[in-house]
Structures are given as structure tokens and as C-alpha cells.
Amino acid sequence: MSDWSPAMTRRAFVVASACLGASALMGCGSSGSSPATVEAPSSPYDWSGLVREGEKLSYYEDDQLRSRWGIDVSEHQGSDINWSAVADAGVQFVFVRVGNRGATEGALGTDERFQQNATGAAEAALEVGAYFFSQALTEDEAREEANFTVARLSEAESAGVEFTYVAYDHEAVDIEGARANDLSSEQFTANAAAFCDVIARAGYKPMLYGNPLDLSRLSADIRSKYPVWYAEYGVDVPTLPLDFAIWQYSNTGTVPGISTDVDLNIWFETK
């Protein structure tokens, strides 16, 4: 999801990471363990109900639509998004990037198009969520990121935007000097928990974003505590048997009203 420039990152997602992530999530390959004795995570979805219409995905159960279609955007989609055209194309929700912590020096920054994207999407009657790209090393840095996010959300809310979900997006980045690539699973989980706790106390619903490798670094406890936004591209159906709320299934989608590639998402509503 996260684009990278000298201060930012763009995840180069590899489908093969699904296998590695699945092994980590199930405990396979660890010393002294046998895959046959490890209980795998389970998926609540019957993928025969997944329907593709062009680039749009929908999910049905008992012939009833149980999903919504959406996108996520940042300054990298540019300044010329036609939000009315986006809504007319069938998009129902959007996650807008609030900002980021720099991958090398660690400075906090607001996405240049955050306010514009949030207000434009809200005016088009789309449900608006938010995400922050973290490179936190410690719980204190994660709390700083969360407080930064809450402050920016408040500014947008004063312009009439309503936010419900706020996602924590922490990814390894493929640039020299990346500050947070080698966090232990314990620290990675502690940082996510610290961010989500601040977000929840501010009255929003936290969410965890990641591909299989990212999610494998988080404890099972925190993955069950908060909704998961799962990223995997280039597959017909998700390969990881995990209970997630949103599947980000493409980072090269096309949507009327947006002149660049855009991430495509399906939000399952089965509960």
C-alpha cells in the first residue's frame, strides 16, 4: 500500500510471500515442530461465492451480496481525483493515507493530499477510513504516530469528514538504511498494540494492515483482537487461510476518475 520515495516506501509485494507467511502463521518449520501437529488458521469464506466483474470483486453467500468494493489512495494518486466519477463507478469506501514516518530518518509527515482526498471522498458520499504508514521502532514512537494521526483526523473532521476505521500499516521496505526492517516479532506486535490502543481511546476502530509476511510478525492475539486488512496480489483467491475483514487484491487497478493505478479492495460483511 505504501509508496516510497526518499522519505516513503512502496512495498514490492511478492506472491511467494504468501507461502512464507502461511508457514509462519501456522508455526511450520520451527525447531522441533511437525506441520502435521500444528493447527492451521481457518478462513470463514467459501471462495465459490467470489464473483469478478472486470476488475471489481463481489462476494455472495446464499445468493446474498455480502461485500463492498473500495480503494485506498495517497498523494501518489495525484491531485486530480474526480470523486464523483469514482463513486459512479461503484466504489463504496476509501481509505486515505494520513501520513507516514520516514523509513530512514524517522520524521513524521502528513500526506500532501490527505485533507483533499478525505473531503473529496466524503462529499461523494463514500465511507472514509484512514491509514498511517509506520516505521516505529518502539511503543513510544507508535503512540507518537497514533497521536499524530488523531490530530490530522480531527482537522479533517472539522471540515465535515467522518472516520470510522484507522489502519496501522507497518511494512519492511527495500531501501538502504531502512530503520525498522529488523524488529523482533515481539517489538513489532507491541508497536502495533500501542498504536491501536491510542486510536481506540480516541474513539476510532483500529485495523491491522499487512501481507502474509507482515501479518506473520504479529502475534495471534493481536490479529484476533482487531480486524485484519490483508494484502495479496496476483491470485484468484486468497491463499492464506486467515479470518480477515478486507482483502486488498490489486495494486494496479484502474478506476474511472483516477488517472493512476490504484489499490483495489473487497470488504467482506458476513457477520
Tell me the pLDDT tens digit for each residue of 216-247. 999 999 999 999 999 999 999 999 888 999 99
Model confidence at 43, pLDDT cuts 50, 70, 90, reads confident
Catalytic: which of 46, 88, 174, 186? 174
Model confidence at 42, pLDDT cuts 50, 70, 90, reads confident
Q: Alpha carbon of 204 to those of 110, 149, 199, 221, 263: distances in Å?
A: 19, 11, 6, 20, 23
CB 125 within 8 A of CB 94: no
Whether pLDDT at 174 is above 80:
yes
16: how many CB neighbours lie within 10 A of its CB?
Answer: 10
In the residue annotation, 105 being an active-site residue is answered as no
Q: According to the model, what pLDDT value does residue 241 have?
A: 85
In the residue annotation, 80 being an active-site residue is answered as no
Model confidence at 152, pLDDT cuts 50, 70, 90, reads very high
Q: Kindly state the average pLDDT of the residues 158-186.
A: 95
Whether pLDDT at 26 is above 60:
no
Whether pLDDT at 65 is above 90:
yes
Model confidence at 41, pLDDT cuts 50, 70, 90, reads low
Whether pLDDT at 271 is above 70:
no
Phi-psi region of 254 (alpha: psi -120 to 50; beta: other; left: phi over 0): beta
Task: Name beta bridge partners: 52.
Answer: 57
Q: According to the model, what pLDDT value does residue 264 have?
A: 98
Q: Kindly state the average pLDDT of the residues 155-166.
A: 97
Catalytic: which of 39, 63, 176, 221? 176
Catalytic: which of 72, 111, 127, 214? 72
Contacting residues for 242 by C-beta, under 8 A, at least 6 apart: 25, 41, 43, 215, 223, 228, 230
In the residue annotation, 176 being an active-site residue is answered as yes
Q: Is 73 exposed, middle or buried (0-12, 13-18, 19+ CB in 10 A)?
A: buried
* Euclidean distance between CA atoms 239 and 34, whole angstroms: 21
